[in-house]
Amino acid sequence: MTDTPARVLTDDELDLLELALGGALAPADLAAALPGVPPEVVLTDAENTPLARLTSGPSAAVEPLKPLAAAIGPQWDDAVRRPARDVRTDLGAGADEVGLLVTEPPTREDVETAAALATGPGGGTVLLLVPVARRAPEPGAVGAAGLVRAAQALAGDLADRTGARVVTVAVPWPGADRTAVSLADVAGAYGARRAEPLAARRSPATADAVAGLARVREEAVAALYPPASAAEVNRATRSAHRRGAVVFFTGLSGSGKSTVARALAAELDDDGLRTTLLDGDAVRHHLSKGLGFDRASRELNVERIGYVAALVAEHGGIAVAAPIAPFASGRARVRELAEAAGAHYLLVHVSTPLEVCEARDRKGLYARARAGEIPDFTGISSPYEEPADADVVVDTSHVPVEEAVRTVRTALAARLGEEDLGRPGHP
């Protein structure tokens, strides 16, 4: 495998790989969606974990190597995030399942439409197919977690009203522009004999009302105030923002810091907070590409992350960063940058012991470091200076990810002065 070229996948491409591994996307279609890949390539995530080997050409195939990293949230629940082949097998042959594509939160009219479809011909089993993306939603848009929650509520309502068997499935989906295969084609791979985009069946009145939601507040302001006052109220609303925050994770490779950071960022995004994730390996591929792993390079990498995080926080966002950050001086510089930007700062030490990190190593880096193949490897041939000023300390060897996220959220809420931020599902 070491001689095979590698391709680091984006979040959208990871969605496509998950579809292919689950049997919803042909290997040839996956290859076509990855322009420039050689005839044989190892597909990795941003942490360089080898996930699959893709072979293109007439005998196109995709071979799984390592499990894809998962996060927390309803869209990652094993009960709904199931491979297409498993869903198809569970449904069985010969049925005429209707697949409802839940691409937006269902309106009241959508609920009635779904009920009519569930009781119509072939409505004995209803598949609620919810496209979910790894990437963060556009500002103001309902994200993957919220969409799944809304779909699950619809599923319960349909089952109660119609007696139909309703199956909710979270479908990894980066968007139609990433592949020539349509969402309807993917729905067929999950077992739907026909696919109905629920939002497409809305009446013009409902469609117009949904599209005009953004205008409602401006119209209300215009009705309450004379034009000059309305302009000032709207201007103040557009410019208002909360004090931002930098949540900075540090810990050994394999400690679980990236997993907790990703889960935290996803929850904060789901709560409508503007959150930017700066994961250590992803940053290395872009912001710090070309830097080495000597002390000076590591310090520069951490400072660059801190600078970008401070910019995000300065404009009211929340930056979640998860590099190894082995040296106290580098972490102190990040704190300094955040505080100079007027942002809150939270240092989270993921204190998982070295032996646990080695045992979990998905990429074999510790073994290579102990064999002398990787110089300057933190914890083996390069020191890790444990922080004495951490605001939160979690050890993922005995603390589940969900509990670690809850602990960090509670600490962040205290900094922001918002009690409800520590509670998942905060509106």
Residue 383 sits in a domain of what CATH number?
3.40.50.300
- Coil vs helix vs strand at 247: strand
Q: Which of 64, 89, 105 finishes a domain?
A: 64
Residue 288 dihedral angles phi and psi, to the nearest 5°: -120, 25
Q: What are phi and psi of 247, to 5 degrees?
A: -105, 110
Which of 54, 27, 58 has the alpha carbon at shortest distance from 42? Answer: 54
Q: Can you give the pLDDT at residue 239? A: 54
CB atoms within 10 A of CB 422: 17
| 367 plus 392 within the same structural domain | yes
Residue where one domain finishes, among candidates 64, 94, 109 = 64
323 and 231 together in one domain: no
Examine residue 103 and state whether it is found in any structural domain, yes or no.
yes
Q: How do the residues of the chain divide into helix, strand and coil, expressed in percent and rounded to 5?
A: 45, 15, 40
Q: 128 near 100, Cβ under 8 Å?
A: yes
**69 in a domain, yes or no?**
no
Query: Helix or strand or coil: residue 319?
Result: strand
Q: What is the CATH number of the domain that holds 141?
A: 3.40.50.620
Q: What per-residue confidence (pLDDT) applies to 238?
A: 62
- Is 293 part of a structural domain of the chain? yes
Give yes or no: residues 150 and 256 share one domain.
Answer: no
Residues 258 and 331 in one domain: yes
Give me the pLDDT at residue 422, please. 47
Pairing of strands 6-8, 61-64: unpaired
Q: Evaluate whether 154 touches 162 at the Cβ level (below 8 Å).
A: no
Same domain, 37 and 150: no
The residue type found at 130 is V
Structure confidence at residue 418 (pLDDT): 62
Same structural domain, 254 and 292:
yes
pLDDT (tens, 9 = 90+) of the chain, 427 residues, equals 457 899 989 899 999 999 999 999 999 999 999 988 899 999 998 878 899 999 998 889 999 999 998 888 899 999 999 999 999 998 876 455 788 999 999 999 999 999 988 875 544 688 999 999 998 777 678 889 999 999 999 999 999 998 888 999 999 998 777 777 888 889 999 988 888 899 999 999 999 998 888 788 888 999 999 888 888 887 776 655 578 999 999 999 999 999 999 999 989 988 878 899 997 667 777 787 778 888 999 999 999 999 999 999 998 899 999 999 999 999 999 999 999 999 999 999 999 999 999 998 888 899 999 999 998 899 999 999 999 999 999 999 999 999 999 999 999 998 887 644 544 444 3
Gyration radius of the chain over CA positions? 24
Total domains present in the chain = 4
The reply to whether 315 and 414 lie within a common domain is yes
56 annotated to bind ligand: no
User: What pLDDT was estimated at residue 420?
Assistant: 44
How much is the pLDDT for 273?
Answer: 82
Q: Which pTM value belongs to this model?
A: 0.77
**Based on the domain organization, do 356 and 373 belong to the same domain?**
yes
Asked if residue 59 belongs to a known ligand binding site, the reply is no
Residues 116 and 182 in one domain: yes
Distance CA 146, CA 133 (A): 12
1 inside domain = no
Residue 253, marked binder = yes
pLDDT value, residue 236:
72
- Tokens (6 digits) for 3: 């001689």
**Residue 2: HSE in the Cβ half-sphere, 13 Å Cα cutoff:** 3
Element (H or E) spanning 211, and its range? helix 204-211
Tell me: is residue 256 an annotated ligand-binding position: yes
Question: What span, in angstroms and rounded, lies between the C-alpha atoms of 5 and 42?
Answer: 6
Tell whether 427 is covered by a domain: no
Sign (positive/negative) of CA torsion 80, 82, 86, 89?
positive
389 and 249 co-located in one domain: yes
In a domain, 394, yes or no: yes
Q: Which backbone phi and psi does 116 adopt, to 5 degrees?
A: -65, -40
Instruction: Give the end of a domain, one of 194, 220, 239.
Output: 239
361, 367 contact by CB (below 8 A): yes
Within a domain: 135: yes
- State which residues form the domain around 144: 74-202
**Are the CB atoms for 180 and 32 separated by under 8 Å?**
yes
Question: Domain check: are 88 and 122 in the same one?
Answer: yes
303 with 401, same domain? yes
**Residue 137: inside a domain:** yes
CA distances from 2 to 14, 301, 373 (A): 21, 27, 13
297 is in an annotated binding site: no
